[in-house]
């Protein structure tokens, strides 16, 4: 037996997340840090729940003694109205992936953007960030674009297959970062934008095991352009391989996946995790087919 202050009980609320690697990443790190820590997937699909139930699930969790939740698709925006407090960045971004339960209150954070920011700073140190081209303006794309602009990107070209989403996301980001130029583009803009870009970020599902392929012609990548992918199943996407073969510095999607877990673990436990150990465990999980 333990009380809410003697152990940590955490959950991940989202649709189809039973196989997520985030619970084992947290649990293994917690064990290494000597914490009593259980992390359970709370899968909407398994429980016959809808995204609109996220508020009820949070409140049940609080009543049952949970300390925190990660929140994922399709609840990252819906959860906002159920929170008592939201970090400044999560509020600006309009998405929360971590909810702490403290004194019965729900406090929201976003570690997707911060995890990517740290991953980029550590994985590609000294990378120029002035001009970046980004493919994909969905949930992951929003967090990554926010991280780039916050880190100093002055010119972001955002390209998505959905022109309306591209325009809306670009306008929302431009309003948040008035000193930067956020340009909505189409695939025809890829070649001219990449001819002078410092970096290229791929935030579409292309490259996943279930969506194999390349999101662009790798010939468009100049060797001096760094390349970051958000896909981590597989960690080595065709893009990562092709970009490396062209001489580009690359950041695989595992870095963001681990980065969000590192930042959430710190917020939830108050203990500084060992990020390198978490990355090693993550790679072990992925390589073992989890
Ligand atoms: N590394 C991480 O921590 C992490 C976190 C979240 C999501 N992801 C991965 O990121 C990917 C995207 O997730 P999401 O939540 O943003 O999905 P999403 O559905 O919200 O957004 C994907 C966007 O990509 C666009 N798109 C698809 N194909 C395209 C193409 N060929 N060219 C341009 N745009 C295209 C879609 O129109 C859509 O707007 C998923 O594969 C997911 O597994 C990784
Ligand atoms: O690993 C996952 O399944 C996640 O759902 C990925 C991403 O959505 C994060 O924000 C969540 O904390 C965890």
The DSSP call for residue 65 is: T
What is the Å distance from ligand 2's center to 285 Cα?
15
The ligand minimizing its distance to the Cα of 115 is: 1
Which of 54, 72, 233 for a ligand 2 pocket mutation test, highest count of atoms within 8 Å of Cβ?
Answer: 72
Cα–Cα distances in angstroms (integers) from residue 255 to residues 9, 119, 144, 160, 215, in the given order:
25, 5, 12, 23, 19
Residue 289 is predicted with a pLDDT of 85
Dmax over CA atoms of the chain, in Å, equals 62
The domain 128-248 is classified under which CATH number: 3.20.20.450, 3.30.1490.20, 3.30.43.10, 3.40.50.720?
A: 3.40.50.720
The answer to whether domain 7-110+256-287 and domain 128-248 are alike in fold is: yes
What is the Å distance from ligand 1's center to 232 Cα?
12
Domain boundary assignment for the chain: 7-110+256-287, 128-248
Residue labelled with tokens 């139930």: 53
Whole-number Å distance between alpha carbons of 144 and 115: 9
Nearest to 147 by CA among 212, 228, 224, 213: 228
| Ligand 2 and 166: CB distance under 6 A | no
Whole-number Å distance between alpha carbons of 58 and 218: 44
Identify the active-site residue in 26, 76, 92, 109: 76
150 has catalytic annotation: no
Q: What is the CATH number of domain 7-110+256-287?
A: 3.40.50.10860
Output the CA angle 175-257-29, nearest 5 degrees: 130
CA-derived radius of gyration, the chain: 19
Residues of the chain with pLDDT under 50: none
Report long-range pairs for 102-111 (Cβ below 8 Å, ≥24 apart): 104/62, 106/58, 106/62, 106/82, 107/83, 108/79, 108/80, 108/83, 109/263, 109/264, 109/267, 110/143, 111/259, 111/260, 111/261, 111/262, 111/263, 111/264, 111/267
pLDDT digits 0-9 by tens, 176-218: 999 999 999 999 999 999 999 999 999 999 999 999 999 999 9
What is the Å distance from ligand 2's center to 22 Cα?
7
Q: Token pair of 273, please?
A: 């995790």
Whole-number Å distance between alpha carbons of 30 and 35: 5
| Ligand 2 and 72: CB distance under 6 A | yes
Whole-prediction pTM value?
0.97
The ligand minimizing its distance to the Cα of 290 is: 2
With b for 16 or more beta-carbon neighbours within 10 A and e for fewer, the 142-158 pattern comes to: bbbbbbbbbeebebbbb
CB 44 within 8 A of CB 53: yes
Provide the total of helices (H) and of strands (E) in the chain, helices listed first.
11, 12
Residue 41 is predicted with a pLDDT of 97
Residue 7 is predicted with a pLDDT of 95
Task: Specify the DSSP element, H or E, that contains 158.
Answer: strand 155-159
């Amino acid at each position: 037996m333990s009380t809410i202050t003697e152990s940590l009980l955490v959950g991940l609320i989202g649709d189809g997340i039973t196989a997520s690697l985030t619970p084992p990443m947290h649990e293994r790190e917690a064990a290494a840090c000597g914490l009593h820590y259980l992390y359970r997937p709370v899968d909407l699909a398994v429980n016959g729940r809808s995204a609109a139930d996220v508020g009820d699930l949070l409140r049940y969790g609080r009543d049952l003694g949970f300390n925190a939740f990660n929140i994922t698709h399709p609840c990252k925006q819906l959860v906002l109205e159920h929170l008592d407090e939201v970090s400044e960045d999560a509020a600006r971004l309009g998405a929360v992936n971590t909810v702490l339960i403290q004194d019965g209150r729900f406090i929201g954070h976003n570690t997707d953007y911060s995890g990517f920011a740290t991953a980029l700073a550590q994985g590609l140190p000294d990378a120029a960030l002035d001009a970046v081209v980004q493919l994909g303006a969905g949930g992951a794309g929003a967090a990554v674009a926010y991280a780039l602009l916050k880190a100093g990107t002055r010119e972001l070209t955002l390209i998505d297959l959905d022109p309306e989403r591209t325009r809306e996301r670009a306008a929302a980001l431009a309003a948040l970062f008035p000193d930067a130029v956020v340009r909505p583009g189409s695939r025809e803009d890829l070649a001219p934008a990449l001819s002078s870009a410092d970096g290229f970020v791929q935030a579409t599902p292309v490259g996943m095991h279930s969506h194999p392929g390349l999101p662009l012609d790798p010939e468009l990548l100049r060797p001096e352009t760094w390349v970051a992918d958000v896909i981590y199943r597989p960690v080595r996407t065709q893009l990562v391989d092709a970009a490396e073969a062209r001489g580009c510095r690359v950041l695989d999607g595992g870095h963001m996946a681990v980065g969000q877990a590192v930042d959430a673990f710190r917020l939830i436990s108050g203990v500084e995790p060992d990020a390198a150990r978490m990355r090693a465990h993550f790679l072990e999980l992925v390589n073992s087919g989890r």
